[in-house]
Structure 1
C-alpha cells in the first residue's frame, strides 16, 4: 500500500491539478463538433475538454472500478468524459476512429495489440487528437502508462511460490493449472508467473497439468470445471487476473474442492478478490497495481496532453503482493 501511495503522491507532484465543476457521460457525444488542433487546445478550459476512454469489457470488475473512478474524478474537475467498452481490438480501433471524428481532445485506450493500433494513432494525430496508450505501448502514442507484464506475472508467481514453499516439502510434486488468456500482453504475464514458480521453487516440482482461458468469471468457471476433470488433484491455480480466477474459485466451491494444499493466486486486487483472500479459504493471494487509485492521474495526463503540455512519454506502475497477512491494508 505504501508503494501505491508513494507513486500517487509522486505523480501528483509532477502533474498540474486544476479543479472546477462539470459533467460526465457514457456516450460518444463530446461537447465540440469538429476535430481539435494543437493550436486550439493549448490552454483550453477544462469544461471544453473531452477525454474518451476505449476500455475493455466492464464485466471484469477491475475495469468497472477503474471507469467509475475516472468518471467521478472527471466530473469533479469539470472535464467531459466518455467511454466505450469492448475487448475486441478491431472494435477498439473503430471506437477510436469514431471518437476522432466526433472531435474529442484526447483518447485513452486499453491496448491489447500495439502494432494493430499504429494506424489509428496516426489518424488521431492528423486530427489533432492526443493518444494515450494504457497497458500496452503503441508506436507514436503521446504517452504510455502500464506495467511490465512479465514483471507483473512474476509478482503473481512470487506470491504463489511463497505459499508453495511454505506448504509443501522438498521433493514434492505440485499439480498446477494456468488460468490464462490469448491477448499478447497476457501471454507475457503468464510467462512471468511460470518463470517465478520455476525459479523460486527449486526443491519442489511444479507440474502444469491444465490450462484454460480466464479474463472474466464466466470463463473462469468453465476453466475451473475443466481443471477438475484432469485426473490430477490440482494443488495450485495461477491466473492472469482475479476475474478469471474468481470463476475458478466458484467452480471449485461448487464441487466441494479445496483443502490446506489447494491455493489460487492472481492479480488486480478487485474487491471480490480481496474479500476472498480475507475469508481465509483457498483464494490465497492477489497483486495490486494501484490501478483504481491511479484513475485521477490517467485523467490528469490526458488533460495535460489536451492542453498542449509536456508529459512523460513512459509511466510504469508498481506491483504489491497481497495475502491474508496484509489484506486489511487494501480494503
Structure 2
C-alpha cells in the first residue's frame, strides 16, 4: 500500500480567510461552492476542498476577497499567499509526467585512478507527451509547487534501480532528496523490494544525497542513511564542501563516498585557492574512511593533479557525457 504523498493523488486544498472583509463573505463563498456540488469542509475561518473546488473558489472570489488576508496550502504543507494558487494549477502537467513515468535514465561513467569504469551515475531525463525534453530546472520547481516532490523522487529512484539492473558489476549512483522521505521504513520499502525482484545486489547501489533541498534535520538524514546501510546499500554525500562543514558531522554520517563539487575541481591544476580546498576535502575524506570522488572534470590537467594528490574516483565530461546506455570511457587516458 502506498501513501498519497508517493502517488499522484488528488490535491487537498486548505484556504484560510482572515480580516473583516474576508470573514464577512465566508458564508457566501461556502454556499456558492456547495451549490456547485463541490464538497467543502468548513472549520472556523478555513475551507477544505479538492483541486476543482479550489479552481471554482479562485474564479468566484477573484474580485470578492482581500487577497492580502487569504492564504492556502496543499497536503498540509506550508501556507502560501493566495496569489500563488494559479501557479499550482498551471503546473498540473507534472502529474502526468509522474503518473505515466515519462522519464528514463542516462548513464555517466565514474572512473578509478587507473581509468577503469567503477560506476555510473544515473541521471533522470524527463519527456513531455510529445517526446520533447523537460529540463530539471523546470521539473523540480513544478513538483515542489504542487507538493509532488515525494512522488517525483520515488519514481526517479525506481526508474534508476530498473536501469541499474543492466550493469555488469559496476555500481550505480542514484540521487535522492532527503526531505522527500518522511519515513525511511515506509518510503524506501518499494525501492528495496524492486532491487530484490530484479536481482540487483544491494552493494551495487550507492544512494547519493543531493542538496536540491538543504538538509536542516540531520537526525532525519541519519535515519535514512541507517536504513540504507541496514539493507546493504552504500551512500554518498554531494556538495560536501558546502553542506557538511565539520569533521564531527561527517564522521557521524559515515558516508561511503564524498563528492567534491565541480566548482572546486574545474581549473584546480592552476588555482592555488581551489587546490587548498581540494586538499582539505581530501584530508576529511581520509580521516573518516570515505572514498573521495572529484566530479565535473573536463581537463586532463585537473585529473592528473587530483589523482596525484590521492583522489580515487573521478567523473566529468572528460571521461564521458551522460548517454542512454552504458558506454566506455571516451577520454584518451594514458595512465
| Higher RCO, 1 vs 2 (CA within 8 Å, ≥6 residues apart) | 1
Query: What is the TM-score of this pair, normalised by structure 1?
Result: 0.29
Query: Which protein shows a greater Rg?
Result: 2
Query: What is the TM-score of this pair, normalised by structure 2?
Result: 0.29
